[in-house]
Amino acid sequence: MSKGIGEEFKTSPYRRYKNDLEAGTSSREIDEEEDEGSGPFDIVRTKNAPLDRLRRWRQAALVLNPARRFRYTLDLKKEEERKQMIAKIRMNAQVIRAAVLFQAACEGVNEPGVSKKLPSNQGHVDDFDVSLDELVSMSREHNLSLLEQHGGVKGVADKVKSNLEKGVSGDETDLINRKQAFGSNTYPRKKGCSFWWFLWEACQDTSLIILMATAAASLALGIKSKGIKEGWEGGGSIALAVLKVIVVTAVIDYLKSRKFQNLNEEKQNIHMEVVRGGRRIKISIFDIVVGDIVPLKIGDQVPADGVLNAGHSLAIDMSSMTGESKIVHKNSRAPFLMSGCKVADGYGTMLVTSVGMNTEWGLLMASISEDNGEETPLQVRLNGVATFIGIVGLVVAEVVLVFLLIRYFTGKTCDPDGRTQFRAGYTSVRDAMDGFIKIFTVAVTIVVVAVPEGLPLAVTVTLAYSMEKMMADKVLVRRLSACETMGSATTICSDKTGTLTLNQMTVVDVFACGKKIEPADNKSLLPPNVMSLLLEGISQNTSGSICVPEGSNVLEISGSPTEKAILQWGVNLGMDFDAVRSKSLIIHAFPFNSEKKRGGVALKLSDSEFHVHWKGAAEIVLASCTYYMDSNGSMAQMEEDKVSYFKKAIEDMAAGSLRCVAIAYRSYEKEMVPSNEVEMENWQLPEEDLILLAIVGIKDPCRPGVRNAVQLCIDAGVKVRMVTGDNLQTAKAIAVECGILGSNGDATEPNLIEGKAFRAMSETQRLEVADRISVMGRSSPDDKLLLVQALRKKGHVVAVTGDGVNDAPALHEADIGLAMGIQGTEVAKESSDIIILDDNFATVAKVVRWGRSVYANIQKFIPYKLTVNVVALTINVVAAVSAGNVPLNAVQLLWVNLIMDTLGALALATEPPTDHLMHRPPVGRREPLITNVMWRNLIIQALYQVTVLLILNFQGRSILNLEHESDDRAFKVKNTVIFNAFFLCQIFNELNARKPDEINVWKGVTKNLLFMGTVGLTVVLQVIIIFFYGKFTSTVRLSWDLWLVSIVIGIISWPLAIVGKLIPVPERPLFDFLRRKYVK
C-alpha cells in the first residue's frame, strides 16, 4: 500500500485521477449502488461510464435510424480507432528520438573534440538565419548538439530575430513574415458535414426506406392501371411526404450541428500570455509564432514546440504525447518542450521554435477525429422510453396489418361507396396488390409514428439551444451531460478567491518591525535594511513581473491577483523592480505549493552572500520564524509575547476578511549551498530559523450580487459550501458576508472546519459530518477531494469549482466540474465539464437554472409526444379492427409525425429558463422521467382526443350534417375534419405543454419567438395543405363552419387542461405505487 501512495505522488497531481487516452474512458468503476441490478437504460452517471455499459444500452435500443439517433453519443468504433492512431504516432515519435540518440552515440557526439556538421542552410528565409527544417529537426529529435551548434537558446533566438527578454516586436508585418517562414500554430481540422450529408443520413431511416419502396410499388401499379395523370397520386403523395420529412429533418440536424461545431471551436481556443515588445499580453494559442517568448506556470499547456529559456523547478507532464504519466524535469540539459504537454510544477519561459503541423502535437491532432459526442443520462433514459413505445407500436402495427389483410381478403372491406374491394376470382392481381400495398403502407406508417425517434433527439435540440444561450451568460459547456446534470445538483463546493470575491486584491494592513504600519505604504516606519530585504523578497520571490511598455510611463504588473497586490505594494514603497532583481541571482526556487501553502527562492547576492526568502500563509510561515526585525532594523528573538502579538494580528485581519500573507527570510552559508546542478535540483530549501519581515493583510472584496446568488441556490435546495485554502477566520468572515453562513453563531465545528481536521477523521466520521460542513478553511486539494467523495457517497449530486492544477482531482471526481475561465489553468479546464468564463459565482447559479431548464423542457415534450402517439395509434387501431379502414392515412400521419418529432421538439425544447425553476427542489437522478403530473395531463388530453375523434369517425356523417352528400364525398369530408381536428388538438396542446403545472399557459410566450414562429409556421402549412394539396393528403377543402368545428375541438383542450391541473396527484410515483401493490 505504501508503494502505491508514493508512486502516485511521483506522477502528475492531476493524472492520478485522469486517464490516458489509450487507457479507455475511465479506470474508475461506476459506483456499486448505481450499477447493481440496473437495466441497460439505467445509467444515472454517464461521466466516466465504462464502454461496455454504453454498448449495452445501444444494443438494447429499438432504433430506426442509428446514424441519426446516436450522432451525438460517443462513437465507440471511432474511439478505438483514435486510440490506435494515438499509439502509432506516439510510437513513431519515440522511434525517431531513439534513432537520433543511437546515431549520436555511434558518431561519438559526446566525445571531446568531436563535432557534428550543421545541416545545410538551404531553405533559409531572407529575414531569418535559420531554416524551418533545422528548427523542426532540432525540436522533434530533441537534438541538444544541434542546439548548441546554433549558439544555444540565445543563438537560436538571434537567428529567428527574437529577444529573450522582450520577445518579438509583435507588429503585423513581422507576424505575417514569421507565419510565412515557419507556419502558423494551427492544424487542418475536419470540416463539418455538409447539408447533403445530413440529407443522406436522414434517408437511412428503416421505416422511411420501406415507405419509399411501397410508394414506388404503388406508383408503378397506379400508373399502369390509371395512367400517369391519375395513377401517380397514391404512391406519389407518399413519396413527397417522405421527402418532406427527410428535408425538414436534415435542415434541423444541419443547423443543430453548426451550433455544436461553433461551440467546439470556442472550447479549443486557449488564450495564453506571451512577451511581445517587452509587454506580457494575452493572445489565442492559434496566434503564437516562432520566436515568441511564452511564460509558463503550473497548470499551463505548452502551446508549441520550443526550448527552455529560463525556469525554476519546471516539471512537465509528457503523458499527452508519450502515454506515460511520469513527470520530466526540464533544465539546460533537457531544455526541449513539446506542444500539448502540461506544466506539472514550477515556472519558466520558453522560446517557440516550431508551431502547428511542424510539431508532433499538430500531427496528432490532425490525424485523429475529434469525437466530442457523449451520452447524457436523460438521453439514455429516453432511449429506454422510446424502445418501450416502439415495441408497443410494432405490435400494434402487426395487429392492424393482420386485421386489415384478413378483412380485405375475406371480402369484408368496402370502399366509401359500399362496394366490396376484394372478391375472390373477380378482383385482378393488380388491384389486389394495390390494396395490399395500401394496407402495408398504413402499418409501416404506424411504426413511423409509434417509434419516437425524436424523443432522445429532443435532448440534443435543447442542449444545442441551451449551450448557445449559455455562452451569452458567460458559460462554456465542455461536456453535454454536465449541462443536464447541473439541474440535479444538490450541493456546490465553491472556491472563495475570484469566485465569491472579485479577485481584485490590494494590501491594506501591514505588520512589520513588531508594530502595525499605517498607512500600509508608509516607508518612513521601515528601517533601510528591512526595506531592502523586503523589496528583495517581493521582487525575486514572485511569479509575477513589472514592465514599462515602450513609449509609456505607466507600469504594467502581471501575475496572480495575490502577486499583483504584493508587487503593487512594493512599488508604492519605492521598489524599482528591474534594479532590485539585478542585484541578486535566483539559484533555486520552490514554487508556491497549495499543499505547503508557501513558496521560496534561494538568492546569490553580488558579494557571494546567500539569502533564502519565503512567502505564504501567515500562520504557517510565522510558525517557522524564530526571529523578527524590530523597529531599529535589528534581528530580535521571537519571544512568546511577540508570537501572540503576531497571531492576534493575523486573527484580527482574518476576521476582517483579509487574506494574510507573511514574508520572511534567512541568510545561508555558502558551504551549505549545493555546488552542482544535479544536487541543486534536489535541494530542499531550508524552512527553519526564519526571520519575519512583514505580515500583510490583503483585501479582496465580495462580488456584487454574490449574496443574492447564494440565496437563490439555497432557495432552490442547493447547499453552497466554501472550500478554500485561506485562513479559517478569513473564510468565516467571507462566508457570513456571502450568506453561506447565516451568522457568526453558525460558525461552529463541523459547520466550520479546517482541512487537516477533516482529513484526520476516519471515513465513517467524514461521512457523518460531510453534510453539515458549510466552510472548510486551510484545505489542501486532497481535503477537497475527500469532501467530494464523502458527499457523493451520501447521495449528493456534487458540483465543484476550481482553478488550479491541484483542483483537477476534485473537478474530475465531482458530478459537475466547474473551472474558472479567467484564473483557471488549462489543466483545471481540461478536467472540468463547464467553464465559467467570468469566474463569477452568480454565473454558477445561472448554470443551475439552465440545467433545470434542460430537464424541464424535455419533460414538457414527453407528454406532448406521447399524447400524439397514443391518440394516433388508438383511433387507427380501433377503426381498422371495427371498420376495416383508417381515418388517418400514411401521408397525414407522416405530416403529424413531422410536426411533433422535429418542429414540436424545436418549439418546446427551446423554452428559456424561468425563475419558477429556482423555487423547486433539485430533480433526483433516480426520480421517474414521467411524473404523476405528466401522467395526469397526458391521460386527460389523450382520453379527450380519442373520444372525440372516434365519435367523429363512427358518427361524423350525422354530426357534421353530411347525410345529403355522396358516400365518397362524406367519407373524405369526415376524415378531413378528423385529420384537421387532430392536428389542431396538438397545436393547442403544445401551448398546454409549455406550463405542465401552471394555469396560465400564455405566460412569457411572446418572449419565445422561436416557439411562436414554429407554431405559426405549422398552422400556415396545415391551412395550405387543406386548401391546396388535397390530392397529396387525400383531403378536401373544408367549409368555414367545419373549420370552426375543428378549432373548437382543439381549443377545448385549454379549459380541459385548466380543470385537469386542479386535480391533485399523489407525491408517490405512479409506477412505484403499482409496484408496491403488485408485490403485496
Task: Summarize pLDDT for 330-349 with one digit per residue, the tens.
Answer: 888 889 999 888 888 888 99
> What confidence score (pLDDT) does residue 22 get?
31
Residue 739 φ then ψ, to 5°: 95, 5
Catalytic residues: 495
993 vs 989: CA distance, rounded Å: 6
Q: Angle 719-722-723 (CA atoms, 0-180°, nearest 5)? A: 130
Residue type, 733: A
> What confidence score (pLDDT) does residue 32 get?
42
Q: Angle 721-724-727 (CA atoms, 0-180°, nearest 5)? A: 120
- Reported residue count of the chain is 1080
Helix (H, G, I), strand (E, B) or coil at 1080: coil
Query: CB within 8 A of 438, min separation 6: which ones?
Result: 218, 234
List helix spans (H) across 269-376. Answer: 319-322, 360-367
191 vs 178: CA distance, rounded Å: 26
Between the alpha carbon of residue 169 and those of residues 153, 276, 831, the distances in Å are 18, 6, 35
- Strand 327-329 versus strand 336-337 pairing type: unpaired
Cell 358516400, residue located: 967
The helix (H) or strand (E) run that includes residue 236 is helix 233-268
352 DSSP β-pair partners = 306
1038 vs 1046: CA distance, rounded Å: 10
CA dihedral 63, 69, 73, 79 (to 10 degrees): 70
Neighbouring CB atoms inside 10 A of 915's CB total: 8
Q: In what order do the strands lie in the sheet with 752-754?
A: 475-477, 834-836, 816-820, 798-802, 491-494, 719-723, 775-777, 752-754
> What confidence score (pLDDT) does residue 233 get?
65
Q: What share of the chain is helix, strand, coil (3-state, %, to 5)?
A: 55, 15, 30
> What is the residue-wise DSSP string for 682-712?
TPPPP-SSEEEEEEEEEE-PBPTTHHHHHHH
818 vs 822: CA distance, rounded Å: 12
Query: CB within 8 A of 332, min separation 6: which ones?
Result: 308, 677
Residue 504 φ then ψ, to 5°: -115, 90
Task: Summarize pLDDT for 566-581 with one digit per residue, the tens.
Answer: 999 999 999 999 999 9
447: cell is: 411504426
Angle between helices 377-409 and 841-883 (to 10 degrees): 10
Positions of the chain with pLDDT lower than 70, given as ranges = 1-51, 53-126, 190, 207, 218, 221-222, 224-227, 229-235, 322-325, 367-375, 416-418, 453-454, 607, 745, 884, 1070-1080
836: cell is: 465559467
Residue 229 φ then ψ, to 5°: -65, -40
Q: Angle 196-201-203 (CA atoms, 0-180°, nearest 5)? A: 100
Helix (H, G, I), strand (E, B) or coil at 290: coil
782 vs 69: CA distance, rounded Å: 40
Residue 58 φ then ψ, to 5°: -70, -40
Between the alpha carbon of residue 1019 and those of residues 975, 1013, 1025, the distances in Å are 18, 10, 10
> What confidence score (pLDDT) does residue 77 get?
66
Residue type, 869: N
**Residue 750, preceding bond cis, omega within 30 degrees?**
yes
1004 vs 911: CA distance, rounded Å: 10
Whether 972 contacts 416, CB under 8 Å? yes
588 vs 678: CA distance, rounded Å: 12
Q: Say how many Å lie between the first and final Cα of the chain, rounded.
A: 49
> What confidence score (pLDDT) does residue 218 get?
67
Whether 568 contacts 613, CB under 8 Å? no
List helix spans (H) across 805-960. Answer: 808-813, 826-831, 841-883, 890-898, 904-908, 932-959
> What confidence score (pLDDT) does residue 619 get?
93
**Residue 112, preceding bond cis, omega within 30 degrees?**
no
Whether 658 contacts 617, CB under 8 Å? no
Between the alpha carbon of residue 299 and those of residues 68, 340, 345, the distances in Å are 38, 12, 8
User: Distance from CA of residue 901 to its chain's centroid?
Assistant: 26
The helix (H) or strand (E) run that includes residue 180 is helix 172-182
Helix (H, G, I), strand (E, B) or coil at 418: coil
197 vs 211: CA distance, rounded Å: 21
Between the alpha carbon of residue 617 and those of residues 13, 592, 630, the distances in Å are 21, 10, 21
85 vs 82: CA distance, rounded Å: 5
pTM for the full predicted model: 0.81
819 vs 833: CA distance, rounded Å: 8
835 DSSP β-pair partners = 476, 819
785 vs 791: CA distance, rounded Å: 10
Whether 335 contacts 308, CB under 8 Å? yes
> What confidence score (pLDDT) does residue 4 get?
37
The helix (H) or strand (E) run that includes residue 662 is strand 658-668
- Cα-Cα-Cα-Cα dihedral sign, residues 423, 426, 429, 430: negative
- Strand 598-605 versus strand 515-517 pairing type: unpaired
